[in-house]
Amino acid sequence: MAGIEDVARLAGVSTATVSRTLSGKGPVSTATRLKVEAAAGDLGYVVSASASSLASGRTRNIGVVVPFLGGWFFSSVVEGAQRALLRNGYDLTLYSLSGGGDERASVFEHFLLRQRLDAVIAVSLELTAHEVDRLHAVRKPLVGVGGPIGGVRTLMIDDVAVARLATEHLLSLGHTRIGHVGGSKEFDLDFHLPTNRRLGYEGALEAAGVSVTMDLFEPADFTMRGGYQAARRLLERDAGRPTAIFAASDEMAIGCILAARDLGLSVPRDVSVIGIDDHELANFFSLTTVAQFPEAQGEKAVEILMEQLHPGKHAVGDFTLPMPFELMTRSSTAHPGS
């Protein structure tokens, strides 16, 4: 196998010049770069990752931390991040915190500090000041996805505005008795997503002059099964059944559609249903939803990390970056009785 000395000999330059050229570190003329790249190509020489990391102090490995792996949103963010990291020549190490508080403490106190990582992306985790300080103390750039974190570049979606948009869509169709399937208390953890989406729902109703009633809210666990069970509780009532349901996630919204069908109700004639996410199954169920583009969030998080790891090569953006969302109208919503 060819080594760096062979490339230097064939190109007629020093090994230091070969190293600078192939690592992209330091000044090299265009003519020299072309000679070195041609020699490396002819010899099939590939830069050693371990040697490169020793020389640069970089491992080209990024740690990504998620609350758990079961959710479509988290896996989509990770997929977007991995795609962007591969384009930039980086690997990804994934950490799931599904084990609870002790596991989280172990990851932030030991693994992220001990492992050879260049930087960290925290997805839907409201990091404490101590966790942030520990990572900054060892000079690991950090980007958050999901909400504001003190002292950290973050991407966030306005959950109140997203829920308001979904509810306003139902109101614009003429619905006034709108049920809400939202997160139960145990899911109101980092960034208070269930509470914020409920606030957006209630705010839209109040702005339209529609009374907010507790009997139109049913808690669930952000799964299809949970959405199904909550929707049945809303729809099996003898009186006061909602004509529309806003679910705080697409998986719960799909559960609502299935519950309505099992009860002999037509969607959207008897009940309209809207969710949030634009889940991969949303189009299959013709679900109206508010898309939040999680893969794009993962890619953008990597872009921000590259700004920190390679200053000057990327444009520096705002400290907290709001992410886009968009109403995707399909056939699960219509005027009441349509």
Nearest Cα neighbor of 217 from 190, 188, 194, 239 is 194
Higher pLDDT, 118 or 101: 118
Helix H or strand E encompassing 34: helix 30-43
Q: Do 165 and 151 belong to one domain?
A: no
User: Mean pLDDT, to the nearest integer, of 21-37?
Assistant: 79
Q: Do 264 and 184 belong to one domain?
A: yes
- Residue 274: predicted pLDDT: 98
Cβ neighbours for 160, distance < 8 A, ≥ 6 positions apart: 196, 197, 199, 200, 203
Maximum alpha-carbon separation in the chain: 87
Domain-located, residue 327: no
Domain-located, residue 335: no
Q: Do 243 and 146 belong to one domain?
A: no
Domain-located, residue 19: yes
Residue 55 clears pLDDT 80, i.e. is over it: no
pLDDT band at 54 (very low <50, low <70, confident <90, very high): very low
- CA dihedral (82, 286, 70, 227) positive or negative: positive
Answer yes or no: are the C-beta atoms of 273 and 247 closer than 8 Å.
yes
Asked if residue 242 has a cis previous peptide bond (ω within 30° of 0), the answer is no
- Residue 97: predicted pLDDT: 85
Q: Do 178 and 278 belong to one domain?
A: yes
Domain-located, residue 204: yes
Q: What Å distances lie between residue 85 and 73, 113, 144, 217, 306, CA to CA?
A: 18, 20, 16, 41, 9
CATH of the domain at 279: 3.40.50.2300
- Residue 248: predicted pLDDT: 97
* Pairing status of strand 320-322 against strand 153-156: parallel
Residue 275 clears pLDDT 60, i.e. is over it: yes
Residue 46 clears pLDDT 80, i.e. is over it: no
pLDDT band at 53 (very low <50, low <70, confident <90, very high): very low
Dihedral, CA of residue 122, residue 128, residue 134 and residue 136, to nearest 10: 60
Nearest Cα neighbor of 194 from 179, 183, 185 is 183
How many residues are recorded in the chain? Answer: 338
- CA dihedral (112, 115, 119, 122) positive or negative: negative
pLDDT band at 134 (very low <50, low <70, confident <90, very high): confident
Q: Do 254 and 265 belong to one domain?
A: yes
pLDDT one-digit tens code per residue, 185-232: 777 777 899 999 999 999 999 999 999 999 999 999 999 999 999 999
Q: Do 139 and 118 belong to one domain?
A: yes
Q: What is the mean pLDDT of the chain?
A: 88
Domain-located, residue 337: no
Tokens of 55: 């020389």
Q: Do 166 and 102 belong to one domain?
A: no
pLDDT one-digit tens code per residue, 279-324: 999 999 999 999 999 999 999 999 999 988 887 655 555 578 999 9
Answer yes or no: are the C-beta atoms of 155 and 143 closer than 8 Å.
yes
- Residue 317: predicted pLDDT: 54
Q: Do 279 and 306 belong to one domain?
A: no
Strand order in the sheet with 217-220: 217-220, 178-183, 244-247, 272-277, 288-291, 326-328
Q: Do 191 and 286 belong to one domain?
A: yes
CA-based radius of gyration for the chain:
25
- Residue 2: predicted pLDDT: 73
Q: Do 27 and 85 belong to one domain?
A: no
pLDDT one-digit tens code per residue, 58-71: 678 999 999 887 77
CA distance 322 to 310: 23
* Pairing status of strand 288-291 against strand 326-328: antiparallel
How many domains are contained in the chain? 3
DSSP string, 234-274: HHT-SS---SEEEESSHHHHHHHHHHHHHTT--TTTT-EEE
- Residue 143: predicted pLDDT: 95
Domain-located, residue 264: yes
Answer yes or no: are the C-beta atoms of 165 and 197 closer than 8 Å.
no
Provide the domain limits for residue 106.
Answer: 61-156+295-321
- Residue 102: predicted pLDDT: 77
Q: In the block, which residue shows the tokens 């208390």?
A: 185
